[in-house]
């Protein structure tokens, strides 16, 4: 096996438009049991990431101030770290370790500048286990 991001990424991920209501986005995150989603513009370009913590922050702020009109664009992170489908699992593992207080538990996986999947730490751990079995067995 090649041990590339494409081999371990999930094709199950959420996307939101920047003008999506935050409460609608949070509802999707809860309903789909996801830790967040990717924000794409109408052309399909990745423009941000929305995490469940962002939704929590917005929910607390809205409850406290009685403000329910925020859009995803108002609270998303625009500093995006992503991986390419052909990046090695070792490269992805290093990105997680060097990420420090990264705002999201995973990275968007890109192909030709489009999101095609997401990869989380658990995916990388699975890959490393498989690589270890390949070397010992």
Task: Note the pLDDT tens digit of each residue in 28-66.
Answer: 999 999 989 999 999 999 999 999 988 888 888 766 666
Domains and CATH numbers, the chain: 5-136 (3.10.580.10)
CB-based contacts of 35-39 (< 8 A; 24+ apart in sequence): 35/104, 35/105, 35/106, 35/120, 36/104, 36/105, 37/13, 38/13, 38/14, 38/108, 38/115, 38/118, 39/15, 39/72, 39/73, 39/76
102 pLDDT band, cuts 50/70/90, is low
pTM: 0.86
62 contacts: CB under 8 Å, gap ≥ 6: 22, 23, 68, 70
CA distance 72 to 93: 29
Neighbours of 16 (CB within 10 A): 24
CB proximity list for 127: less than 8 A, separation 6 or greater = 3, 7, 8, 89
* Residue 72's pLDDT band (cuts 50, 70, 90): very high
52: left (phi over 0), alpha (psi -120 to 50) or beta: alpha
The per-residue pLDDT of the chain, averaged, comes to 89
């Amino acid at each position: 096996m090649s041990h590339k991001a494409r081999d371990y990424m999930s094709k199950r991920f959420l996307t939101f438009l920047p003008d999506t209501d935050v409460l609608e986005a949070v509802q999707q995150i809860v309903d789909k049991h996801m830790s967040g989603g990717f924000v794409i513009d109408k052309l399909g370009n990745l423009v941000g990431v929305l995490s469940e913590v962002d939704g929590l922050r917005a929910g607390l702020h809205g409850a406290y101030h009685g403000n329910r009109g925020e859009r995803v664009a108002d609270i998303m992170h625009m500093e995006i770290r992503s991986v390419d489908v052909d990046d090695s699992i070792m490269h992805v593992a290093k990105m997680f370790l060097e990420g420090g207080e990264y705002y999201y538990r995973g990275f968007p996986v890109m192909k030709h500048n489009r999101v095609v999947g997401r990869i989380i730490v658990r995916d990388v751990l699975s890959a490393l286990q498989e690589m270890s079995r390949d070397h010992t067995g």
